[in-house]
Amino acid sequence: MMDWMRKRRPLMLIVVLPTLLTALYLYVIAADQYQTEAHFVIQSSTGTSMPMSIGDVFGFSGPVSSSQSQAMGVSDYLGSQEAVDTLQKQMNLVQIFRRPEADMLSKLHPADPTPERLHDYYEGRVKTRYNRDTGISTLEVRAFRPGDSYALIQRLLTLGEERVNQLNQRSYNDAVRNAQRQVDEAEQNARDIEARMTAYRQGNADVDPTVSGVQQSSLLTQIEGSLASARSQLALMGTMIDHNSPQYRAMQQRVSALEAEVGRQKGKLTGSGSTVASRLGGYEDLKVRQAFAAKRYEVASAALEKARDTARRQSLYLLRIVDPSMPVKALYPKRAETLLTVFLSLLVAYSIGWLIVAGVREHTA
Q: What is the pLDDT of residues 174-228, one digit of tens each?
A: 878 888 888 888 888 888 888 877 776 666 655 565 655 565 567 667 777 887 8
3-state secondary structure string across the chain: CHHHHHHCHHHHHHHHHHHHHHHHHHHHHCCCEEEEEEEEEEEECCCCCCCCCHHHHCCCCCCCCHHHHHHHHHHHHHCCHHHHHHHHHHHCHHHHCCCCCCCCCCCCCCCCCCHHHHHHHHHHHEEEEECCCCCEEEEEEEECCHHHHHHHHHHHHHHHHHHHHHHHHHHHHHHHHHHHHHHHHHHHHHHHHHHHHHHHHHHHCCCCHHHHHHHHHHHHHHHHHHHHHHHHHHHHHHCCCCCCCHHHHHHHHHHHHHHHHHHHHHHHHHCCCCCHHHHHHHHHHHHHHHHHHHHHHHHHHHHHHHHHHHHHHCCEEEEEEECCCCCCCCCECCHHHHHHHHHHHHHHHHHHHHHHHHHHHHHHC
The predicted structure's pLDDT at residue 57: 36
Q: What are the residue ranges in the chain where pLDDT is below 50? A: 49-64, 273
CB 276 within 8 A of CB 268: yes
Look at residues 58, 73, 279 and name the one whose alpha carbon lies nearest to residue 164.
Answer: 73
262 near 254, Cβ under 8 Å?
no
Report pLDDT for 292.
87
Tell me, what's the pLDDT at 58?
37
Residues 166, 86: Cα–Cα separation, whole Å? 15
Q: Which one-letter amino acid corresponds to residue 19?
A: T
Instruction: Put the strands of the sheet holding 316-322 in their side by side order.
Output: 126-130, 136-143, 34-44, 316-322
Nearest CA to 81 out of 89, 23, 36 is that of 89
Specify whether the CB–CB gap between 35 and 305 falls below 8 A.
Answer: no
CB within 8 Å of 339: residues ≥ 6 apart: 19, 22, 23, 26
For 131-177, the pLDDT digits (tens) are 888 888 899 999 999 999 999 999 999 999 998 888 888 878 887 88
Q: Are 321 and 157 contacting, i.e. CB atoms less than 8 angstroms apart?
A: no
Spell out the SS3 assignment of 301-355.
Answer: HHHHHHHHHHHHHCCEEEEEEECCCCCCCCCECCHHHHHHHHHHHHHHHHHHHHH
- For residue 136, which of 203, 52, 45 has the smallest C-alpha distance? 52
- What pLDDT is stored for residue 155 in this prediction? 95
Report the pLDDT value the prediction gives residue 46, as an integer from 0 to 100. Answer: 62
Phi, psi of 136 (to 5 degrees): -95, 135
- Number of residues that make up the chain: 365
- What's the confidence (pLDDT) of residue 283? 65
The per-residue pLDDT for 99 is: 93
Q: Please say whether the beta carbons of 18 and 349 come within 8 A.
A: no
Residue 117 pLDDT: 95
Distance CA 142, CA 35 (A): 4
Contact 154/327 with Cβ under 8 angstroms? no
pLDDT at res. 166: 86
